[in-house]
């Protein structure tokens, strides 16, 4: 199987008890991604509220879309006829697609739609949504689910996920997996782990077949997904098993206890080869990005920057705050005086406050520009300071300002 225009190289590698951070480059048919890198989420072939030109101006190197949503609307065959995801959305850079496995969690379970969770004290499977209320049902062969759009029944298997993702045509695609929550028992986590491994073998077989059949299409790199929740033995088992297969890279997925993120991701990366990239799925809060980089992850995606922006929550030098609070009504200064994004160089907090109070769509666009720019540039700065060998100073200074109460 020819892997033309695909590759990964490590420019520098940290190896200590404190940091596994590394610098590298991912080469794809649509361009190079300098790592570490934050990848904005464009679930339905659009980063919500932004044009592609606005996404480019944030400094984003790539975008991640979702196979499940694009399969339902407009349909993977439409993207295939358009020339693939990049051509369809007029994005002239690298693209990722998530496999749809996370939708099994969010639709089938009905729990929190986030990978980073607080486990609390509940672990019984019966806290999960009752079967009658679920939109998705998992078995060893795949998943049957109801469309959240019209209630129609659909079936996803590893083979169908590969077929859909090949039609969508992203540069980096993920194997179909079963994503669990921290609320599942360890016994069920093992069942899901075994199922995900079996699906990984099937994804590789289908991926190789489609790559050979779809002559003339750019090579799509396939990443295997590693689950295991908060359990060290399961995480390491999953990492070793997935690493032994013919994947181009790896996605670290599943529910992750935020308080132990560094430890959990390190369990995984210690089992993985150093010559393949690792993507940490669903992680995007500033402190978690530092932890992810230090644990050896290369790329990250998360909806938090865009989702927060649409509620008027923006990232500032001293932490996140809401523009709709009364003090911003007469704040004739930008969100961040030092920020170089379009929003901060053209508009004041007072104007943004007005837009949200008036329920104007432009408010969401301007805050999304800022939050995506902030997150992309934060990881860019992490990368730069790794090169300059003063990463820890930068990290400590940033976190002290952003989380002053800690």
Q: What is the pLDDT of residues 56-100, one digit of tens each?
A: 999 999 999 999 999 999 999 999 999 999 999 999 999 999 998
Q: Is the pLDDT of residue 46 over 70?
A: yes
301 is catalytic: yes
pLDDT of residue 105: 60
pTM for the predicted model, two decimal places: 0.94
Whole-number Å distance between alpha carbons of 104 and 112? 12
Q: What integer pLDDT is reported at residue 13 of this predicted model?
A: 80
Using alpha carbons, select from 358, 366, 304, 305 the residue that is nearest to residue 335: 366
225, 174 in Cβ contact below 8 A?
yes
Residue 170: per-residue pLDDT: 98
Q: How far apart are CA 311 and CA 278, in angstroms?
A: 31
What is the per-residue pLDDT across 157-181, written as a single tens digit (0 to 9) for each?
999 999 999 999 999 999 999 988 8
Mind listing the pLDDT tens digit for each residue in 121-144? 444 444 455 555 567 788 999 998
Cα-based distances in Å from 197 to 6, 75, 255: 24, 27, 17
Largest CA distance in the chain: 61
pLDDT (0 to 100) of residue 184 = 83
pLDDT of residue 134: 61
Closest-CA residue to 316 (of 396, 374, 234): 374
- pLDDT score, position 135: 72
Query: In this predicted structure, what is the pLDDT of residue 120?
Result: 54
The pLDDT score that the predictor gives to residue 132 is 53
- Domain architecture of the chain: domains with CATH: 7-302 (3.20.20.105), 313-402 (no CATH)
Residue 277, pLDDT above cutoff 80: yes
Query: Is 118 a residue whose pLDDT tops 60?
Result: no
Query: For all residues of the chain together, what is the average pLDDT?
Result: 91
Q: At how many degrees (to 10) do helices 391-402 and 361-388 cross?
A: 150
Q: What pLDDT score was predicted for residue 122? A: 46
Q: What is the mean pLDDT of residues 320-331?
A: 98
| Cα distance between residue 253 and residue 250, in whole Å | 9
- 139 classed as catalytic: no
Residue 151 confidence class, pLDDT cut points 50, 70, 90: confident
Segment 226-235 mean pLDDT? 95
- Catalytic residue from among 98, 171, 177, 298: 98
Query: Counting beta carbons within 10 angstroms of the beta carbon of residue 188, is it exposed (0 to 12), middle (13 to 18) or buried (19 or more)?
Result: middle
Radius of gyration of the chain (CA): 21
Percent of the chain surpassing pLDDT 90: 80
What's the average model confidence in pLDDT over 302-309?
Answer: 97
**Options 80, 298, 301, 336, the catalytic residue:** 301
């Amino acid at each position: 199987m020819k892997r033309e225009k695909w590759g990964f190289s490590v420019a520098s590698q940290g190896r200590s008890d404190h940091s596994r951070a590394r610098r590298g480059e991912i080469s794809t048919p649509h361009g190079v991604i300098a790592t570490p890198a934050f990848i904005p989420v464009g679930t339905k072939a659009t980063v919500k509220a932004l044009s592609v030109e606005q996404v480019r101006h944030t400094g984003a190197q790539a975008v991640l879309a979702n196979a499940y949503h694009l399969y339902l609307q407009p349909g993977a065959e439409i993207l295939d006829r358009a020339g693939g995801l990049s051509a369809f959305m007029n994005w002239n850079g690298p693209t990722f697609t998530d496999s749809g496995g996370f939708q099994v969690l969010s639709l089938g379970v009905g729990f929190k739609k986030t990978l980073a969770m607080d486990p609390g004290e509940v672990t019984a499977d019966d806290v999960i949504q009752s079967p009658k209320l679920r939109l998705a049902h998992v078995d060893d062969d795949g998943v049957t689910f109801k469309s959240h759009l019209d209630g129609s029944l659909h079936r996803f298997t590893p083979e169908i996920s590969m077929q859909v993702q090949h039609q969508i045509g992203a540069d980096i695609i993920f194997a179909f997996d079963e994503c669990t929550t921290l609320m599942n028992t360890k016994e069920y986590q093992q069942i899901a782990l075994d199922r995900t491994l079996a699906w990984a073998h099937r994804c590789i077989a289908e991926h190789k077949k489609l790559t050979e059949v779809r002559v003339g299409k750019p090579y799509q790199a396939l990443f295997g997904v590693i689950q295991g929740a908060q359990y060290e033995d399961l995480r390491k088992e999953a990492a070793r098993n997935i690493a032994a297969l013919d994947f181009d890279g790896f996605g670290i997925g599943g529910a992750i206890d935020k308080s132990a993120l560094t430890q959990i991701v390190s369990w995984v990366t210690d089992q993985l080869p150093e010559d393949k990239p690792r993507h940490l799925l669903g992680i995007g809060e500033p402190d978690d990005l530092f932890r992810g980089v230090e644990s050896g992850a290369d790329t990250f995606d998360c909806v938090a920057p865009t989702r927060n922006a649409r509620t008027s929550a923006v990232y500032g030098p001293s932490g996140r705050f809401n523009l709709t609070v009364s003090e911003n009504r007469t704040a004739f200064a930008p969100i961040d005086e030092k920020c170089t994004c379009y929003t901060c160089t053209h508009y004041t907090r007072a104007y943004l406050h007005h837009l949200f109070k008036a329920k104007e769509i432009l408010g969401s666009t301007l805050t999304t520009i800022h939050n995506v720019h902030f997150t992309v540039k934060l990881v860019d700065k992490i990368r730069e300071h790794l090169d300059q060998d003063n990463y820890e100073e930068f990290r400590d200074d940033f976190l002290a300002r952003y989380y002053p109460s800690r």
